[in-house]
């Protein structure tokens, strides 16, 4: 689940400066689950923009706003209306996907925050930062890159107090969690395994994956 939050409305309105005819593109997937880009939020945005004097030429609601082919098909509906601008109510991925399919400017209504686990409806936890080199097999399936404020992969910094992180005492120290979990699993020897530097410097963005390429 890609977790997004609404931008302050004033920020969005400032971006729209000069545009009069607006098309809205939401997303029935993650953005709908986060209550920032489903049908209800798109209708609310339409009402808000109309109240501010904009003409909203329509709402597109693809099943997933990050699916290029789906979005391409959905935005065709706006071709004759010739909007001055589009507002994406999806994540940053969805916003860029719309921009690749239209010639008018596209503005994000949301801030994309993280890839999250859904604890229950409306409550999300960050679990993975998509580092591209997973170490969960060595850490009792608790991610040190995400759960440790310093992303330490070879043990704690030593600053924890009563099991809480020195950076944000609201959070448990990831390495105390990892130690306890490995202990419970009878895998404490893994705490001593030295993991190579994660080599963030070697990453280059953007990354692409083609599942059809020969393995
Ligand atoms: S180590 Fe953590 S950030 Fe990296 S892939 Fe695994 S869960 Fe994700
Ligand atoms: S206290 Fe624990 S979680 Fe916080 S930065 Fe140090 S090792 Fe990481």
Give the strand pairing for 55-60 and 21-25.
parallel
In a domain, 70, yes or no: yes
Distance of CA 147 from the midpoint of ligand 2 (Å)? 8
- The CATH number given to whatever domain includes residue 88 is 3.40.50.2300
> pLDDT, tens digit, for every residue of 109-132?
999 999 999 999 999 999 999 998
In a domain, 109, yes or no: yes
27-43 mean pLDDT:
98
139 and 67 within one domain: no
Ligand 1, atom 8: closest residue by C-alpha = 128
For the sheet with 2-6, list strands across it. 2-6, 110-120, 123-126
In a domain, 124, yes or no: no
Separation between Cα atoms, residue 91 and residue 183, nearest integer Å: 39
Report the pLDDT value the prediction gives residue 28, as an integer from 0 to 100: 98
- For residue 178, the 8-state DSSP code is H
Last residue of a domain, one of 114, 145, 179: 114
Last residue of a domain, one of 114, 139, 164: 114
Ligand 1, atom 5: closest residue by C-alpha = 134
> Closest ligand 1 atom, CA of 139?
1
Domain count, the chain: 2
2 touches 91 (CB < 8 A): yes
Ligand 2, atom 7: closest residue by C-alpha = 156
Which residues' Cβ are closer than 6 Å to ligand 2? 148-150, 152, 156-157, 159-160, 165-167, 173-175
121-148 mean pLDDT:
95
Q: Range of 99's domain?
A: 2-114
> pLDDT, tens digit, for every residue of 74-95?
999 998 999 999 999 999 999 9
In a domain, 66, yes or no: yes
138 and 98 within one domain: no
136 and 88 within one domain: no
3 touches 34 (CB < 8 A): yes
0.85 exceeded by pTM: yes
In a domain, 56, yes or no: yes
22 touches 87 (CB < 8 A): yes
98 and 22 within one domain: yes
Distance of CA 137 from the midpoint of ligand 2 (Å)? 20
Residue in 109, 107, 25, 32 with CA at minimum distance from that of residue 74? 25
164 and 81 within one domain: no
143 and 70 within one domain: no
68 and 6 within one domain: yes
Which residues' Cβ are closer than 6 Å to ligand 1? 128-131, 134-136, 143, 145-146
CA 51-54-59 angle, to 5 degrees, is 95
Closest ligand to Cα 169: 2
Distance of CA 142 from the midpoint of ligand 1 (Å)? 9
Closest ligand to Cα 134: 1
Cβ neighbours, 10 Å, residue 62? 23
Assign 195 a pLDDT band (cuts: 50, 70, 90).
confident
Residue 85 vs residues 19, 43, 187, 210: alpha-carbon distances, Å: 6, 17, 56, 32
Handedness of CA 117, 34, 4, 81 (dihedral sign): positive
> Closest ligand 1 atom, CA of 153?
1
> Closest ligand 1 atom, CA of 144?
2
pLDDT greater than 70 at residue 201: no
């Amino acid at each position: 689940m890609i977790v997004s939050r609404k931008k302050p409305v004033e920020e969005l309105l400032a971006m729209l400066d000069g545009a009069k005819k607006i098309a809205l593109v939401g997303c029935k997937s993650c953005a709908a689950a986060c209550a920032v880009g489903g049908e209800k939020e798109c209708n609310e945005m339409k009402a808000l923009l109309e109240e501010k004097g904009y003409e909203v030429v329509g709402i597109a609601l693809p099943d997933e706003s990050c699916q290029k082919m789906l979005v391409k098909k959905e935005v065709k509906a706006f071709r004759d209306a010739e909007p001055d601008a589009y507002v994406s109510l999806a994540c940053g991925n969805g916003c860029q996907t719309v921009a690749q399919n239209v010639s008018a400017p596209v503005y994000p209504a949301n801030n994309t925050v993280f890839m999250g686990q859904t604890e229950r409806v409306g409550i999300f936890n960050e679990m993975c930062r998509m580092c591209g080199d997973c170490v969960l097999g060595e850490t009792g399936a608790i991610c040190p890159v995400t759960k440790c404020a310093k992303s330490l992969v070879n043990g704690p910094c030593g600053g924890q107090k009563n099991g809480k992180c020195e950076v944000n005492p609201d959070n448990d120290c990831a390495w105390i969690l990892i130690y306890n979990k490995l202990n419970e699993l009878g895998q404490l020897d893994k705490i001593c395994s030295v993991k190579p530097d994660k080599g963030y410097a070697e990453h280059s963005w953007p990354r692409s994956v083609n599942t059809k390429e020969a393995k």
